[in-house]
Amino acid sequence: MDLIKLAEEIIAGKRLKREDDLNFFFTADLEELRKGAALLQDYFCGKKVDLCTIMNARSGRCSENCKFCAQSAHHHTGVDEYGFVEIDEIMEMALANQAEGADRFGLVTSGRRLDGEDFEHAIEAYKKMKANCSISLCAGHGLLRREQFKRLREAGVESYHENIETSRRNFPNICTTHKFEDKLETMRIAKEEGFCVCSGGIIGMGETWEDRLDMALTLAELGIESIPINALMSIPGTPLGHLPGLAPEDILRTVAFFRYLNPAANIRLAAGRKMLPQNGREAFCGGASATITGNMLTTSGSNIKEDIAMLHELGFNLN
């Protein structure tokens, strides 16, 4: 397979489909794969890298049993547990991230769905941020209902985050308290209500390369615009806490072929970036056009100023 020629064909309008033989992605020369991914990234995304930050606005005691997650009440991880944070604290973080150069700021909350009084607090927080900040707003509050999405849009939220986590086949091995289709339906509603949907998953949870490929194809079929790729950070106390970290080459290969399958999307580095040399420099030159930065949930993140300095060195435009 001539990977550079394939990249040029994609630039000319070709799109890879589920029925195509795509197994070459697993064995292709990594450097050639990354060169093709860089061509696609440059054509579809230019020199812009999108920086987003998130705040864990409600932590722990989650009813869902996702095997990777420190916040599940089914596991015993010692994670901090707290209710919905005060709006003043949210405002302080949003303004600080805006001042440091982030493109968007999102609130994420533990639980199957943000509801009741906590959802009302979230709406008030988004309204206040919209009135006082220029930073774009993102939300990640689980399997919301359509009327909740309408209210989020009215409050100024532009993007909605809901990871599919893995392939359809592998999903029941990771979570049994909700279904893969529940996530797809939530994402469909969000798109119908005008949100930019951010959805990706986690690699390194014992899945096969075929599972990773299936996840990339599912996201392509859904037309997802922002795709975070997380590498599992094994957390003691979770059922996946014993798994070793991925080799950097596996992460780079995944980023690269996600770019081939989702050429115009923002392929976003997320948790596990620190498994890569120099905090992911190579990935930004091989398919990744976005990243989560700042303090990320229960796993260590990256400093915004350091990320901006690194990306400027690589020739990217952050304006």
- Cite the beta strand spans of the chain per DSSP E: 50-58, 104-109, 136-140, 159-161, 196-198, 201-203, 226-231, 266-269, 290-292, 294-296, 299-302
pLDDT of residue 302: 66
pLDDT at 261: 98
Low-confidence ranges of the chain (pLDDT < 70): 295-302, 319
pLDDT of residue 215: 98
CA atoms within 13 A on the CB side of 19: 0
Task: Give residue 319's pLDDT.
Answer: 64
- Start-to-end CA distance of the chain, whole Å, equals 37
Instruction: Give the model's pLDDT for residue 279.
Output: 86
Domain 20-313: what homologous superfamily? Aldolase class I (3.20.20.70)
For the beta carbon of residue 229, count every other beta carbon within 10 angstroms. Answer: 26
Q: Model confidence over 122-176: pLDDT tens digits?
A: 999 999 999 999 999 999 999 999 999 999 999 999 999 999 999 999 999 999 9
- Listed by start position, the domains of the chain span 20-313
For helices 304-313 and 87-100, the axis angle rounded to 10 degrees is: 20
pLDDT at 269: 96
H or E, element range at 93: helix 87-100
Predicted TM-score (pTM) of the model is 0.95
Residue found by looking up tokens 């999405």 in the block = 149
Q: What pLDDT is attached to residue 78?
A: 85
Distance of CA 88 to the CA centre of its chain: 26
